[in-house]
Structure formats: C-alpha cells, structure tokens
C-alpha cells in the first residue's frame, strides 16, 4: 500500500477557546496504522503581541483516543511566516475505511480568524 495521507482543515472562531469538531478523516483502503500526526493552527491575519497555542484530540475505532497533540503555530506568509510540516511519530492500529474524528482547541481567543489543520500519515 505504501504511505498515504489524510488531512482536514477548518476555521475556528476568533473568540473560540472551546473544543471544535473539525470533522472526520477516512482511513485509506489497505492502511492498518497511523504512523505520524502533524497538527497546526494557522493565522491568516494577526495582531501584534497576540500569541496563541492549541492542541488536538482524535478518536478512532471503538476505544482509541489520542489526547493533547500539540499544534504548531503558523502565521501566513503575508505576516512573514512559513511552515514545514513536522510529523510526530506514532504507531496506532486502525481499520481501513473507518473514520478518525478530529477535534481542536485554541488556548487563547484571537481578534482574527485562525484555521486548524491536522494531517495523518497512514501505512
């Protein structure tokens, strides 16, 4: 099967500091495990001296849960930022064609909109 990827991205409300359901990522046909997680918060616009952090949570199968995956912080290129995705290695057993539900939480309210992006690496 080789390596495959699945991702999801959703805007979070500017004042959102509660968990937001980003949606589901379908495990590709032939995949049996998640081998990496990359998660980020992206600011399209920003306010000087306004920081933000976040984390994501995933549920899968009948009992699998991954809590507290830290999210990288990215600012858009117009704000002088850039980002190379970094995957946190893992080895999570999954079943092909099932859903991985993804949730994100920003820890600080923002004056502008931020997007949460989560990418999973499957093998």
Residue range 6-58, pLDDT digits in tens: 999 888 876 667 888 999 999 999 999 999 999 988 876 666 556 677 889 99
Residue 9, token pair as written in the block: 């991205």
Pick the CATH number of 4-122 from 2.60.120, 1.10.357, 3.30.565, 3.40.1000: 2.60.120
Average pLDDT estimate for 90-111: 88
CA gap 77, 82 in Å, rounded: 6
Domain residue spans in the chain? 4-122
Q: Where are the beta strands (DSSP E) in 1-123?
A: 4-12, 20-26, 33-43, 54-60, 64-70, 72-75, 88-93, 99-106, 114-122
CA gap 95, 87 in Å, rounded: 21
Quick: pLDDT tens for 52-93: 778 899 998 767 788 778 787 766 655 556 667 789 999 999
Please, are residues 42 and 117 in contact by the beta-carbon 8 Å criterion? yes
**Matching residue, tokens 């390596």:** 3
Query: What predicted TM-score, i.e. pTM, was given to this entire model?
Result: 0.84
Nearest to 30 by CA among 92, 120, 98, 87: 98
């Amino acid at each position: 099967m080789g390596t495959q990827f699945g991702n999801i991205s959703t805007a979070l409300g500017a004042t959102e500091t509660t968990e937001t359901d980003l949606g589901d990522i379908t495990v590709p046909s032939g995949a049996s495990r998640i081998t990496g997680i990359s998660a980020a918060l992206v600011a399209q616009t920003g306010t000087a001296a306004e920081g933000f952090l976040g984390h994501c949570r995933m549920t899968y199968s009948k009992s699998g849960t991954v809590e507290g995956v830290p999210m990288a912080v990215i600012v858009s290129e117009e704000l002088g930022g850039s980002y190379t995705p970094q995957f946190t290695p893992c080895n999570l057993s999954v079943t092909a064609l099932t859903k991985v539900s993804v949730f994100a939480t920003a820890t600080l309210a923002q004056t502008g909109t931020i997007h949460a992006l989560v990418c999973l690496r499957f093998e």
